Structure 1
Amino acid sequence: MTPILDALLKDSAYKLIQFKEEHVLALEARITVRERRGKLVPFVVCHIRQKEIQLTPEEAVRQLYAEYLTRDLGYPVARIEFEYSVTFGLEKKRADICVFDKDNPTAPYIMVEVKKPKLKDGKEQLRSYCNATGAPIGVWTNGDSYSLYHRKDPNYFEDLSALPTAAEKLSDILTERWTIQDLIVKDKLVNERKSLKALILEMEDEVLANAGVDVFEEVFKLIFTKLYDEMEGGRDHARHLVFKNYGDTDTELKAKIQLLFEKARGRWEGIFTDDSKILLSPSHLAVCLSSLEGVKLFNSNLDVVDEAFEYLVSKSSKGEKGQYFTPRYVIDMCVKMLDPKESETLIDTAAGSCGFPVHSIFHVWDKILEDEGLKKGHLFTSDAKPARCEDYVEEKVFAIDFDEKVVRVGRTLNLIAGDGQTNVLHLNTLDFERWDERTADEAWSDVYSAGWKRLRKLRSSRGQNRDFNFDILMANPPFAGDIKESRVLAKYELGKKPNGKYKTAVSRDVLFIERNMNFLKPGGRMAIVLPQGIFNNGTDRHIRDFIAEHGRILAVVGLHANTFKPHTGTKTSVLFLQKWDDTSCPRVEDYPIFFATMLEPSKDNSGEKIYVTNADGSPVLDEHEHLIVKHDLYNHGGLTQDGIAEAFAVFAKDQELSFAS
């Protein structure tokens, strides 16, 4: 416990998570508290200046960073100066910390900024200090997260994987060869407390906004290429990673990464055309690569890359069509509640980036590994797996979406998970009448024919594309926009008015309810995200009657209004249903339904995630040392309290539901 420091930093933008506990406790022990004007004020003898100063949140971070420089990296106090004067014409500013060059004791070598607690402001300040002094290294920290930069030239700051110690040269850091194990240890997301989404935003600010390229496509290529590099490294731990700048020139680097991209493109076909190339200029690519090279994308569930794709696709197209990515904790709740089995077929009919299928794959894989007595490795998604795992992906898991861009993302995640196998198809789920036209197209068939052949085998009867025999369906259909085409509406019972005449327009999500029923076999079960109004509005009673007529309502889980922010504030619920079946789900008139409401918001009103913290304010981390979103949908493997999914499991057993385990 550090009561003085905890009280000092409370409600400030600064934290001390970055620093070793022993250093924090040592600083706390050096603090003297005095009364000034009726208030207790902390003082400390400065580690560098050797004089007493008043302690502020910013100063606490600076003192601890100086401890890190001297004790951990070995820089002598004589090479360090606080409040170093930097001249800008007639104006002078003071840099928080300056470390001088070993061979030229008056030349700045490392500039450290702690005054600006936000990265964007701190980076601008650092840029100005480094450009004015010629310092090749810049550091920003607020004690919670930090960034390390190599000043390549006045226009570009490239990310640096680590600070050189006093005994090392900058070139030692730049040319150090990495294996996958090095990446695990130095993972920027863990050590610098950042997200891949935040790094992409930083890359946009730095170069992508002015690069004259499609940001989605170029970042997609880089992530795709890096995933391949990590997978190869995960299967040969002695192999040096290629997706890293080892002192290459910009031109050499681009040639190297283009070749790696081509290998990835050949391994995972159908995502990029055979002639596609990385279009970033050599200098822009170098900056982007420096941001990404220290990030480990592979873990046990691909959530790192998942979040990045969510941001990229949402930004480029998704929101315009009323289709929003389902937060991964909502997906995991649905997967836990429906509990897919290895023997069961599964489909998502509005798949987006395939969150439901991919997370279902991991759920089933966990059971397979447990059944075979195998341990789940840290790099689970890149590890070679039992044949049962790959067979499950190839034979049992399917996905459909009408947006070609997100289908490519979904196929990428499925190809990686399934080691080259995927059944993610580019089709319009609602307009099944025209599937035969689509599937007859040669260009479409080149990419999707294998998955289409497997999907056809699950049709209820040959030669028709309406009814299927899936065990499980999970989907978050698009809410916005109506279907007005009479040819399409004529295929749906919910396209009719009570008097039997067809409506002129029906909301997409309403038609998806009926369409999804068509995909399920008798006894099949479904989770579907729907706007809250369907459950409440008097005018939607016929929809509720349709649902009750076709299956047993298992559960309705109300999601918090912030769940889909910043994309939309629409209040939603998840409907869980099992289709009537004489054996597994016999029709009854009255039965209990599990109702629950999500009380923890998971996001603030602006759509930023809220994370679980310990009593002292430090974050609770998962097995990969990543932050845990604060919600009450499930218990994160025991790291948080039991939630809605665990309560439903008890309900399902009590009700003796056919799939309860």
Structure 2
Amino acid sequence: MTIQNILKDSNYKLTQFKKEQIEELENSIFEKELKSGKAPYITCKVRNKDIKLTPEEIVRQLFLIQLHKDYAYSYDRMQVEFIVHFGTQKKRADIVIMDRIQPTVPYIVIEVKKPKLKEGKEQLKSYCNSTGATMAVWSNGEQTVYYHRKDPNYFEPIPDIPSQNQSLKDILQEEFNIQDLIGKDILKTQKRSLKNIILDMEDEVLANAGVDVFEEVFKLIFIKLFDELQNTRKRTKNLEFRNYGESDSELKEKICSIFEKAKKEWSGIFKEDETIELTASHLSVCVSSLQDVKLFNSNLDVIDDAFEYLVNKNAKGEKGQYFTPRYVIDMCVKMLNPQEHETMIDTASGSCGFPIHTVFDVWKKIYADMGIEESHLFTADKKEDRALDYVKEKVFGIDFDKKTVRVARMLNIIAGDGHTNVLNMNSLDFDRWDENTKNEEWMDTYFDGWRRLKRLRAKKGEDRAFNFDMVMANPPFAGDIKESRILHRYELGKKSNGKYQTKVGRDILFIERNLDMLKSGGRMAVVLPQGRFNNSSDKHIRDFIAEKCRILAVVGLHGNVFKPHTGTKTSVLIVQKWDRKLCPKKDDYNIFFATMSKPSKDNSGEKIYVKNKDGSNRLDHHDHLIV
């Protein structure tokens, strides 16, 4: 019996198939004697059993041959009559090609049943959405159409499906580089924040993914920053942190590959054996959420809010350590006016806002001196040698919290082209700094920064005093230090009668520690609780400060500045250490006092942005919102 005899009363045609494929199928037909007479059969190479040939089965078998011969898919990667679940109801998809990496997950769903295109497409959509398959094919032997499932509500027609050794990306040949991302950046076009996008990701997948949300988002931002930088510097043709039509498992394989490259180039942030814990499907949702966000901008402030949320979510706030708003940092940097030859340290660096913004401020001065114009991708640009020398030798950060040190190191490495002097140490417990050098893992990560820091000691072999030009810090102002061993190393650990106290506020000891880090004539900006400036019980602290340095300014911050984490009222203290030449000691001098006249946040801690007359948000020259 011939194929034409079987098809003669049906709507199916075979014009989509090659002559040799039809001949192969026809040559394998045999007859079986049934009660109703003889019937044509074929041995299905997928099911490995004899199947009665119907018009629909002929098209299906020809499609199996075509997938094997033209697309090189092996028969063991195909399934026929694949069960698709719809609640308690079950349906069957004609042909399913399973995923290469996850062989239990459907990759392409193929339907050959319906002679009417519309009905076939609706059935395909339901099968794809239920199984998560990336592509769908409908064919009746005469017409074949291919679709890419971009989301449950949108199936995009595509010219073909990929072969065994291809991905959908090869078929689509889409191109998307950093310039395309600048135009599409949803932070600008949709006026969204990265923090809100991460909150949406949490609601959609992360909260129920069984992973450490901080760690996985940290990895994704790390990978995406690396990808943007590579493309900005023309090391890649297209951005790779993007789903170009890959299956979930193909996408995860690609993202993991970028992660390995990034870990190798930016070492000391993740362990060598660290992997992405998100499942392929969860990762796919996260990549889709982040792929149209441009993380690199003029000063990396895009990711500040996101990391503040993530780190505080991990209980950083319980230690009274809150991320300093970038407008407060910018004020301090401008008032201290750092220069290219000067050294700077933040002794409670958190995510390193003070060091990074100091770097940017000095870089702008360097670039202006060299006649180079900064771009809107300032942080992704290849840096000049003078700029690199500055970040490599002059800027330091110390923090005792490992999570925030990793965030800080990432931002510093990216800003500084692989250089960072951010160290995981307890600033107050300087007597035990040398113990870190006995830890091999610590030395592998922090050796270069530690070596540079030691050069700035005031006395060789001792870690109490240093010769920094500037200190900028927002030390923790919750919790007390109770260890007598530490308290006995500080003058401010004593009572007014000279006896040592049993406990002292962290921020009080940080005042003395910061001043010890400064050389004579050095400048300091530090955020302190308002009570230190006016509580009668803190008079000895104010006397200590006045004895050591000249008070240049006190700037009162609004009570909402650190909300929603705390409503503690704070002020910025700016001083200069007495020096015979740079700052001769005197008893009577002017002090600059100022207070914030407008809140930067509302009572719930949400930022208040500058508005235009029509009520829309005003943007700066980089198209960023203005607080």
The TM-score bracket by the shorter chain reads: 0.7 to 0.9
Q: Displacement of 1:309 after TM fit?
A: 1.4
Q: Displacement of 1:285 after TM fit?
A: 0.1
| TM-score, normalised relative to structure 2 | 0.74
**Whole-angstrom CA distance in 2 between matches of 1:347 and 1:254:** 39
Q: Displacement of 1:443 after TM fit?
A: 1.2
1:197 aligned counterpart, secondary structure: helix
Q: Displacement of 1:417 after TM fit?
A: 0.8
Q: Displacement of 1:499 after TM fit?
A: 1.3
Q: Displacement of 1:597 after TM fit?
A: 0.2
Question: C-alpha deviations, 1:97-154, integer Å up to 9, x for none?
Answer: xxxxxx969x99xxxxxxxxxxxxxxxxxxxxx99xxxx9xxxxxxxxxxxxx8735x
> How does 1:635-650 map onto structure 2 within 5 Å?
none
**Whole-angstrom CA distance in 2 between matches of 1:174 and 1:382:** 29
> How does 1:158-237 map onto structure 2 within 5 Å?
176-236=174-234
Q: Displacement of 1:500 after TM fit?
A: 1.0
Amino acid at match of 1:520: L
Q: How many residues align?
A: 484
**Which one of the candidate residues 423, 426, 434 is aligned to 1:425?**
423
> How does 1:1-80 map onto structure 2 within 5 Å?
none
Contact 2:383 2:417 in 1 (8 A): no
**Which one of the candidate residues 324, 331, 348 is aligned to 1:350?**
348
**Whole-angstrom CA distance in 1 between matches of 2:424 and 2:540:** 31
Question: C-alpha deviations, 1:380-410, integer Å up to 9, x for none?
Answer: 1111121000000000000000001100000
**Whole-angstrom CA distance in 2 between matches of 1:152 and 1:500:** 71
Q: Displacement of 1:494 after TM fit?
A: 0.4
Amino acid at match of 1:617: G
Q: Displacement of 1:622 after TM fit?
A: 1.3
The match for 1:390 is: 388
In the alignment, does 2:151 pair up with 1:152? yes
In the alignment, does 2:463 pair up with 1:465? yes
Amino acid at match of 1:473: V
Residues 1:151 and 1:320: Cα distance change in structure 2 (over 3 Å): farther
Question: C-alpha deviations, 1:447-467, integer Å up to 9, x for none?
Answer: 001000000000000011000
Contact 1:175 1:245 in 2 (8 A): no
The match for 1:147 is: none
**Whole-angstrom CA distance in 1 between matches of 2:182 and 2:151:** 26
Contact 2:150 2:156 in 1 (8 A): no
> RMSD of the alignment, in Å?
2.7
In the alignment, does 2:569 pair up with 1:567? no
The match for 2:601 is: 603
Q: Displacement of 1:329 after TM fit?
A: 0.6
> How does 1:490-505 map onto structure 2 within 5 Å?
490-505=488-503
**Whole-angstrom CA distance in 1 between matches of 2:189 and 2:312:** 27
1:347 aligned counterpart, secondary structure: strand
Question: C-alpha deviations, 1:231-260, integer Å up to 9, x for none?
Answer: 000000861111000100001000000000
The match for 1:32 is: none
Q: Displacement of 1:626 after TM fit?
A: 1.7
In the alignment, does 2:248 pair up with 1:242? no
Amino acid at match of 1:371: D
2:199 aligned counterpart, secondary structure: helix
2:525 aligned counterpart, secondary structure: strand
**Which one of the candidate residues 464, 472, 485 is aligned to 1:474?**
472
The match for 1:253 is: 251
In the alignment, does 2:446 pair up with 1:448? yes
Structure 1 residues without counterparts, runs of 5 or longer: 1-102, 109-129, 137-149, 166-170, 630-661
| TM-score, normalised relative to structure 1 | 0.70
**Whole-angstrom CA distance in 1 between matches of 2:198 and 2:156:** 25
Contact 1:208 1:284 in 2 (8 A): yes
Q: Displacement of 1:176 after TM fit?
A: 3.1
> How does 1:217-366 map onto structure 2 within 5 Å?
217-236=215-234, 239-366=237-364
Contact 1:393 1:421 in 2 (8 A): yes
**Whole-angstrom CA distance in 1 between matches of 2:150 and 2:201:** 15
Q: Displacement of 1:564 after TM fit?
A: 0.2
The match for 1:404 is: 402
**Whole-angstrom CA distance in 1 between matches of 2:492 and 2:156:** 66
**Which one of the candidate residues 612, 615, 618 is aligned to 1:614?**
612
Q: Displacement of 1:305 after TM fit?
A: 1.7
Q: Displacement of 1:627 after TM fit?
A: 1.0
2:533 aligned counterpart, secondary structure: helix
Q: Displacement of 1:550 after TM fit?
A: 0.3
**Whole-angstrom CA distance in 1 between matches of 2:294 and 2:448:** 31
Amino acid at match of 1:152: D
**Whole-angstrom CA distance in 2 between matches of 1:457 and 1:308:** 35
1:342 aligned counterpart, secondary structure: coil
Question: C-alpha deviations, 1:279-309, integer Å up to 9, x for none?
Answer: 1000000000000011100111111122211
Percent sequence identity is 65
**Which one of the candidate residues 556, 580, 585 is aligned to 1:558?**
556
